[in-house]
Amino acid sequence: MFTIPRRNFLTGAGIALLPGLAPNAFAGVIDVFNVRDYGAKGDAVSLDTNALQRAIDAAANIGGGTVFLPQGRYLSFSIHLHSRITLLFASGAVLVAADPARHGGSYDPPEPNPYDTYQDYGHSYFHNSLIWGENIEDIAILGPGLIDGIGLTNESPGAPWSIGIGRNLPPSPQRDMAVAEHEAAVKKMYGLGNKAIALKNVRNVTMRDFSILRGGHFGVIATGVDNLTMDNLKIDTNRDGIDLDVVRNARLSNLSVNAPTDDAIVLKSSYALGAVRPTENVTITNCFVSGYDLGTMLDGSCRKSVLKNLEPHLTSGRIKLGTESTGGYRNIAISNCVFDCCNGLALESVDGAALEDVVVDNLVMRDLTVPPIFIRLGDRRRAPKGAPMATLRRVSISNIDATVADRRYASIVTGVPGGLVEDVSIDGLRVLHQGRGTKEDAGRRLAEAVEAYPDPDMFGITPSWGLYLRHIRGLRLRDIEMSVLAADARPAAVKTDIAGLRCRDVFASSHPAAALKPLRI
């Protein structure tokens, strides 16, 4: 460890002071712990796990400090953070996730969680990660370096609940088989790491300016985190990019997340902490999400080979609230975001809590693999016994521009019988749809799928191409234009069980050569 003036350190690390900031704004000194002073080689061959942890522990022993990774490739298994620690990656510094099969080590085992029947494996355990922290405060992970999760797995067993084990079903050969198969799958995960960064019960977190390539099941998962800032991150990964679960007071800005096989930025509210707690007071702004071929967002080529043969879930990469929704969502604002070659916006409440007071504004979408908008209230109740019917209300969506939306699906807003979506407004929607729907498609009757996993393709091809609206009380549609690239035999909109519908300036055309005409819904 060495102690240097803060100004000198920031300059030497390649971090310039902001213009106009007085030199004495950083009075005093900071404690810097260079990982090479603790034995790290950074040669991509030697395991640096112990050296990295020694540097972190040394900083923690004096009450906190900055752990500095200079240029190099640092091969590591699990390292865990302490309070008041900053990890600072220099330009050219890469933290490389080791592979247990190749490098003769293992990641920390998953910790016990008595509530693991209510959410997926990845949301129930945190220690089996490359970087993790629990019950700590005042931490930061700063760039401009890279985390390469090449040695992480992106696999994860399903939750016991989802395969019937957590429902207190009576013993049966089928149940016994399901239990045995689940336990075997969990056992195979021991020693593996499936997350790049995992935080649980943490306060005051800043992540800024670094990149993640191949983040495992989650590039970043933050559960029970209060006061979170994420800014100027680039994540190009093989499952979820960023999962925020039961977080409070989070600010996400200027993020680029490529997630071709799963969600890019997703808010969840699971029961992983053993309490019903909402995700609340979250802003997501000035972000870019995509489903390009893996690695091609970071290298700048942005390849879209997945679009050559579209199938459900072939590419995802969206912004979503759901699916775990045991605690609900409130006070969420999403604005000024771009979607490319991926799913659209999804708002889902199915597990016995409220999704309410959500505002979405200024989204641009192109080459969508599902509809631009998916709003779903369901009754899965993946929650402790006694959970009520979920609710979904007070959602405002405005200024959405979607070009080349998937031909199979209309934008969907739907509840279930006895559970109505309430008070939704869509104001300023422009959609250019692929078209090519058939008369047979127009005759489809969609199942209610009350308890099903919520996803935009859950109903199959919709009987309309523009809007599919069902089980809603209080819906306002204003300033909407929907057109097609090829003729579509389906109606532009289908509605069922709608109370309190208000429409103004809604236009559509089901043929590319026809002018837009007022649409009666």
Q: Kindly report, residue by residue over 412-447, the tens digit of the pLDDT.
A: 999 999 999 999 999 999 999 999 999 999 999 999
Q: ω before 237 within 30° of 0 (cis)?
A: no
User: Is the pLDDT at 12 greater than 50, yes or no?
Assistant: no
Residue 74 in tokens: 């640092």
Do residues 100 and 215 touch, judged by C-beta distance below 8 A? no
Q: Residue 166: its pLDDT value, please?
A: 56
Residue 92: which pLDDT band, with cuts at 50, 70 and 90? very high
How far apart CA 446 and CA 389 sit, in angstroms, is 21
Measured in degrees and rounded to the nearest 5, phi and psi for residue 388 equal -80, 180
Q: What's the residue count for the chain?
A: 521
Q: Angle 124-126-129 (CA atoms, 0-180°, nearest 5)?
A: 135
How much is the mean pLDDT over the chain? Answer: 91
Domain residue ranges in the chain = 107-274, 344-521
| Span 174-200, average pLDDT | 86
User: Is the pLDDT at 309 greater than 90, yes or no?
Assistant: no
The identity of residue 48, as a single letter, is D
User: Is the pLDDT at 7 greater than 70, yes or no?
Assistant: no
Residue 320 in tokens: 């979503």
Measured in degrees and rounded to the nearest 5, phi and psi for residue 138 equal 60, 65
Q: Using alpha carbons, list the distances in angstroms from residue 386 to 193, 240, 278, 353.
A: 35, 30, 17, 12
- Better-scored residue on pLDDT, 169 or 477: 477
Do residues 384 and 271 touch, judged by C-beta distance below 8 A? yes
Query: pTM here?
Result: 0.92
Q: Please, is 404 exposed, middle or buried when counting C-beta atoms within 10 Å of its C-beta (0-12, 13-18, 19+)?
A: middle
